[in-house]
Amino acid sequence: MKKIKILDVVFTNEIEGFEIAAFRGAIAELVGFENTLYHNHIDDKKVVYSYPLIQYKTKLKKASFTCIANGVDEAREFFINKNWKINISGKTMRLEIDTFQLRNGLFDVGTRQFQYRLKKWMPLNQANFKKFISLKSQKDKVDLLESILIGNILSMGKSLDWTVTEKIKVSINEVLDEQKVTFKKNSVITFDILFVSNAQLPINIGLGKGVSHGFGIIQKKTKI
């Protein structure tokens, strides 16, 4: 079992989903671009290709971010800043905290089964997108998505120093929604799915691509 610190911060300020990228940029500017965990860039040309430890999203239309593991320690750079005035889409606003929760997230694999909803999951890169659309049967598509989902879990675990000693199994029970969206000027597919796994995962953190922008959020689980 692996335990990590997670900090969820939700503001009273409402933003649209398409404004999450601008919100991310505004927070990065507020704390200073030298604090790279807030934006995952080394400079204008180099990107840090690791699991983002600060993830931006909306919760009931309210601006929010989640800090994970070392990202929780980095959160002090935000809270020591007394000027929480930012600009998004030409609108100036002063951030006000609605809720603030520090919690422990648990990773584990065993015989118990857990049910999750994964929201706005972006599993397909350029290569597996071509493979996905070439598949004829829904079963083959689900099989591909399940294999990608296991890879996403393993990749996230590795970034968070979770040593997986047992085989992770997943089963996608239902695809609730499938949408084409624009992300970083590219057309991509996102999925809302219900899945069952023998892996215990923390809620409100991301899986897959685009997790720093609110994609792939793991939602409430129940033991079954």
Give the pLDDT confidence of 42-88 residue by residue, as tens digits: 545 555 568 999 999 999 999 999 999 999 999 988 888 778 999 99
The pLDDT, as a whole number, for residue 58 is 96
Q: What does the radius of gyration of the chain's CA atoms come to, in whole angstroms? A: 18
Q: Is 180 exposed, middle or buried (0-12, 13-18, 19+ CB in 10 A)?
A: exposed
* Average pLDDT value for the chain: 91
Domain 106-223 belongs in CATH node 3.30.70.1900: yes
Strand partners, 7: 67, 102
The answer to whether residues 27 and 38 touch, using CB atoms and an 8 Å cutoff, is yes
Alpha carbons 76 and 128: distance in angstroms, whole number: 39
Encode 66-98: b = buried (16+ Cβ within 10 Å), e = exposed: bbbbebbebbebbeeeeebebebeeeebebeee
Q: How confident is the model at residue 185 (pLDDT cuts 50, 70, 90)?
A: confident
The pLDDT, as a whole number, for residue 167 is 96
The pLDDT, as a whole number, for residue 41 is 55
The token duo for 213 is 């922008």
Domain residue spans in the chain?
A: 2-104, 106-223
* Lowest pLDDT segment from 119-123, 137-141, 204-208, 220-224: 220-224
Q: Give the CATH number of domain 2-104.
A: 3.30.70
Listed residue (113, 105, 122) closest to 171, CA to CA: 113
pLDDT at 106 over 60: yes
The pLDDT, as a whole number, for residue 83 is 84
- What's the pTM? 0.90
Residues in Cβ contact with 201 at an 8 Å cutoff, skipping those fewer than 6 apart: 105, 107, 114, 116, 153, 218, 221
The pLDDT, as a whole number, for residue 222 is 57
Helix axes 126-134, 138-159, angle to 10 degrees: 160
The pLDDT, as a whole number, for residue 221 is 65
Neighbours of 159 (CB within 10 A): 14
State the average pLDDT over residues 135-164. Answer: 95
How much of the chain, in percent, has pLDDT values that exceed 70? 94
State the average pLDDT over residues 163-168. Answer: 92
The pLDDT, as a whole number, for residue 14 is 96
The pLDDT, as a whole number, for residue 32 is 86
Q: How confident is the model at residue 117 (pLDDT cuts 50, 70, 90)?
A: very high
